[in-house]
């Protein structure tokens, strides 16, 4: 009786392998579906990694950082590398970064009395370009939107300090996005 059960179980696994490909033998099958991305934006010229959460078909968290085309950290890089617990993936943010230059400088709601303003950029598509770990072979795209608010300090003369390297007194920035990926 035991031999019959083992034979039937073995036949079932073999049949499953023939019908469903490698998945019955422990090989990962491709995963695809909708994801949402939730991230924080750095408040200055630094390029330190910031928290990121990915939900949907990818359920993972970690950090995100600007990188260059070679994947090396670069504050002026046009790519975003998400370093997550199950692997990494990089998206091409060139269009997203370019959208900031057309958002207006100063922001549309800039107040020169209070030295405050805010931006809303997006949604802008950012395609996935590479991945490691479980995200190896990732493809697809996410439409990112950024919301940023800033409070700048004043100079000794009382005007707003809008210099490139000024540290804001207050800053809030978040990036969210939704798209479809396969990996």
Are both 40 and 118 inside the same structural domain? yes
Are both 95 and 114 inside the same structural domain? yes
What's the pLDDT tens digit per position in 8-37? 334 333 333 333 333 444 445 679 999 999
Helix (H, G, I), strand (E, B) or coil at 21: helix
This prediction has a pTM of 0.78
Q: Cα–Cα distance between 87 and 80 in angstroms, integer?
A: 14
- What pLDDT does residue 44 have? 65
What's the pLDDT tens digit per position in 81-119? 999 999 999 999 999 999 987 877 778 899 999 999 998
DSSP 166: P
What's the pLDDT tens digit per position in 57-78? 999 999 999 999 999 999 889 9
Helix (H, G, I), strand (E, B) or coil at 27: coil
Give the residue among 81, 96, 95 at the shortest CA–CA distance from 128. 81
- What pLDDT does residue 45 have? 64
Token pair listed for 43: 């408040």
The pLDDT mean for the chain works out to 84
Are both 79 and 43 inside the same structural domain? yes
Range of the domain at 19: 1-29
Are both 13 and 38 inside the same structural domain? no
Contact 61, 85 (CB under 8 A): yes
- What pLDDT does residue 25 have? 40
- What pLDDT does residue 6 have? 35
Are both 39 and 19 inside the same structural domain? no
Are both 25 and 87 inside the same structural domain? no
Are both 11 and 58 inside the same structural domain? no
Task: Indicate the number of domains in the chain.
Answer: 2
Radius of gyration of the chain (CA): 23
Helix (H, G, I), strand (E, B) or coil at 22: helix
DSSP 111: B
Are both 25 and 35 inside the same structural domain? no
Helices (H), the chain: 2-20, 94-101
DSSP 88: E
Are both 16 and 76 inside the same structural domain? no
Alpha carbon distances (Å) from 85 to 58, 107, 119: 11, 36, 31
Are both 131 and 42 inside the same structural domain? yes
């Amino acid at each position: 009786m035991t031999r019959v059960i083992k034979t039937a179980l073995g036949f079932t696994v073999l049949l499953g392998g023939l019908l469903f490909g490698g998945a019955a033998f422990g090989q990962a099958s491709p995963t695809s579906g909708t994801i949402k991305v939730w991230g924080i934006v750095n408040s200055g010229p630094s390029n330190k990694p910031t928290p990121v959460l990915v939900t949907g078909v990818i359920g993972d968290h970690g950090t995100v950082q600007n990188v260059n085309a070679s994947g090396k950290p670069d504050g002026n890089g046009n790519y975003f590398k998400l370093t997550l617990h199950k692997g990494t993936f990089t998206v091409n943010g060139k269009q997203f970064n370019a959208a900031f230059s057309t958002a207006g400088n100063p922001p549309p709601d800039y107040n020169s009395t209070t030295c405050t303003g805010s931006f809303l950029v997006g949604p802008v598509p950012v395609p996935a370009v590479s991945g490691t770990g479980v995200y190896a072979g990732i493809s697809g795209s996410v439409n990112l939107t950024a919301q940023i608010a800033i409070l700048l300090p004043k100079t000794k003369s009382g005007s707003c300090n809008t210099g490139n390297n000024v540290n804001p007194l207050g800053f809030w920035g978040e990036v969210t996005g939704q798209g479809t990926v396969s990996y």
